[in-house]
Amino acid sequence: MPALLEVSNLHAQYGWTEVLHGLAFAVEAGGITTILGANGAGKTTTLRAVCGMVKTTGEVRFDGHRIDGRATEDIVRLGIAHTPEGRGTFVDLTVEENLRLGAYARRDTSGITRDYERVYEYFPVLAERRRQQAGTLSGGEQQMLAVARALMSRPRLLLLDEPSLGLAPLVVREIFRIVGAINKDDGVSVLLVEQNAAIALDLADHAYLLETGRVVMSGPAADLKRNEAIRRSYLGY
């Protein structure tokens, strides 16, 4: 069965500089895949490339259909949700308005109302602050809001860009626990980009290691975790 997301020979460039050189990876339906690597390896660019936010050549297939070259807003409507680096919250709008925007492309009002409830169940702190301006939330709360907003579109694939960045370990663990629950209970596949390799490998099934725009290693997450040599030289722990 073909994977939910399949990427082959992906090249991406910013202006005249190429940053991804022929990437290939996949995300299985229902699975959690993580892309690891140091700063500047091209992890964020990879997610942006999947969403059509950078200039690319190569193939990106979602559910068997090619999505490379299409506009971001069209790709997102196919069932992919992306929480970008830096969270991308609408800081001047309220929490509730942020969530409402997550569901913008949907028409089923009753479904949307139910999803508000579900999202508030996952993230009770958002329910408390629903009328607050998003910019006044703490870093951890904003990250939760970003994930919640992504969930409001009922995606089949969730792209998470460095959710642990700048957050306290306890908060990070909580968020990752919730992501795991979302994956198991709602069947949302996840493509997770992380610098914090330890926590990512705990969550993921499958892992890819990126170095300056190329995949240098891939395999089941458990294997990479077990392999001492790889851990020391590439993952720093």
Residue ranges binding other proteins (CB under 8 A): 16, 51, 53, 71-73, 76-77, 81-82, 84, 88-93, 97, 100-102, 104-105, 149, 153
Please, which residue, 83 or 183, has the CB nearer to other proteins? 83
CB of 233 to other proteins, least distance (A): 34
Please, which residue, 123 or 234, has the CB nearer to other proteins? 123
Residue 27 bridge partners (DSSP):
5
> What are the helix (H) ranges across the chain?
43-50, 72-77, 95-102, 109-122, 124-128, 139-151, 169-186, 197-203, 221-226, 228-230
* Residues contacting residue 65 through CB under 8 Å, at least 6 positions apart: 78
Residues 76, 82, 88, CA angle at the centre, nearest 5°? 115
Residue 220, amino acid: P
CB of 82 to other proteins, least distance (A): 5
Closest CA to 120 of 110, 131, 130, 112: 130
Tell me how far apart the alpha carbons of residues 134 and 39 are, in angstroms, rounded to a whole number: 28
Please, which residue, 70 or 173, has the CB nearer to other proteins? 70
CB of 74 to other proteins, least distance (A): 8
CB of 215 to other proteins, least distance (A): 25
Please, which residue, 38 or 101, has the CB nearer to other proteins? 101
CB of 76 to other proteins, least distance (A): 5
Please, which residue, 76 or 224, has the CB nearer to other proteins? 76
Q: Among positive and negative, which fits the CA dihedral 154, 157, 161, 165?
A: positive
Cβ atoms of 145 and 167 within 8 Å: the answer is no
